[in-house]
């Protein structure tokens, strides 16, 4: 996780399209330092949870597929979470490792009750097959065994996920430097922690090591709050819904500066109030705040990582 923080900070120091605005950070901290907004993990009521290993399997599959909804203007995260939940309610073996290796695009559409091909559908199927194959090969077919192998360490679990599952290796190169972001691997940890309320499969002795999860919504919220400032050229691209290439300088800066800005917010909250706030908590608040702003412009990138 220190690689994520350090590489994000380096991008922020070199960034030419996105600026982390210190005065914006100070204003946000002043507004929330005395009463950090608390958001329940399942405040939408859309997730499957039974307190057992099947919940871990559900969350891992959910986070394997949790990316790139925007090319279909009607599709969103809720459809994915609810679709997988309905599948398990109907058939508890729907997400078994052997089943995951054999799903087709039309079958995934049917599972999610979606009437047309999903964005990056071939990639989603490829990742389903990868999850099933690697779970069966290395973890007795169970995501719960993967979690148990972490020894209650959030950082170790991220390491295990990215080591065993190539589809979770969310890193890139920026100006000759390796940049680590690991959105979906980290959000798997956060989902476990939130769903199990820090106990059982959700108990991590180092949950504070997790950063926020750099996606579409959080950068847009930080821009709205004055924490991030875009150059006029980047602002024009984002506001006009033009596609930004995955791995481009603009895209890497948007995501890395988001991580760095929230780390600075977290640090300043501690300085101002003495409160230790988790990046996970800040991310959940920013994300839930963002989805309420229906007209919020966000950057658009075709990517399997978010």
- Sign of torsion, CA 227 232 233 239? positive
User: Known catalytic residue: 138?
Assistant: no
Cα separation, 111 vs 217, in Å, equals 26
Cα separation, 129 vs 124, in Å, equals 9
Report residue 85: phi and psi, to 5°: -65, -45
Q: How do beta strands 18-20 and 171-174 pair?
A: unpaired
CB 212 within 8 A of CB 219: no
CB 101 within 8 A of CB 108: no
Q: Which of 143, 131, 204 is CA-nearest to residue 168?
A: 131
CB 226 within 8 A of CB 27: yes
Cα separation, 184 vs 15, in Å, equals 24
300 DSSP β-pair partners: 243
Report CA 241 to chain centroid distance, whole Å: 21
Q: Which of 34, 215, 239, 267 is catalytic?
A: 215
Report residue 39: phi and psi, to 5°: -125, 125
- Which DSSP letter does residue 168 get? G
Cα separation, 199 vs 205, in Å, equals 10
CB 156 within 8 A of CB 166: no
Cα separation, 183 vs 162, in Å, equals 11
Which active-site residues does the annotation give? 215
């Amino acid at each position: 996780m220190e690689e994520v923080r350090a590489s994000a900070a380096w991008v922020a120091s070199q960034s030419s399209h996105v600026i982390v605005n210190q005065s914006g950070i100070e204003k946000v901290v002043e507004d929330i330092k005395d009463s950090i907004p608390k958001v329940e993990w399942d405040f939408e009521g859309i997730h499957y949870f039974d307190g057992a290993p099947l919940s871990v399997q559900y969350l891992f599959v959910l986070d394997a597929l949790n990316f790139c909804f925007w090319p279909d203007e009607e599709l969103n995260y809720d459809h994915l979470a609810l679709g997988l939940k309905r599948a398990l309610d109907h058939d508890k073996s729907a997400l078994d490792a052997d089943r995951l290796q054999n799903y087709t695009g039309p079958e995934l559409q049917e599972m999610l009750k979606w009437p047309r091909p999903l964005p990056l559908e071939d990639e989603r199927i490829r990742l389903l097959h990868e999850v099933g194959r690697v779970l069966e090969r290395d973890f007795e077919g169970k995501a719960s065994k993967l979690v148990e192998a972490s020894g209650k360490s959030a950082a170790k679990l991220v390491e295990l996920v990215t080591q065993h599952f190539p589809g979770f290796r969310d890193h890139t190169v920026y100006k000759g430097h390796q940049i680590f972001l690991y959105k979906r691997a980290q959000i798997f940890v956060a989902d476990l922690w939130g769903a199990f309320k820090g106990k059982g499969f959700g108990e991590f002795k180092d949950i504070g090591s997790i950063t926020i999860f750099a996606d579409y919504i959080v950068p847009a919220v930080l821009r709205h709050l004055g924490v991030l400032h875009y150059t006029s050229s980047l602002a024009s691209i984002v506001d006009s819904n033009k596609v930004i290439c995955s791995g481009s300088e603009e895209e890497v800066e948007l995501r890395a500066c988001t991580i760095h800005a929230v780390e600075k917010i977290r640090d300043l909250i501690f300085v101002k109030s003495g409160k230790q706030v988790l990046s996970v908590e800040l991310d959940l608040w920013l994300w839930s705040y963002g989805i309420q702003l229906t007209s919020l412009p966000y950057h658009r990138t075709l990517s399997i990582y978010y």
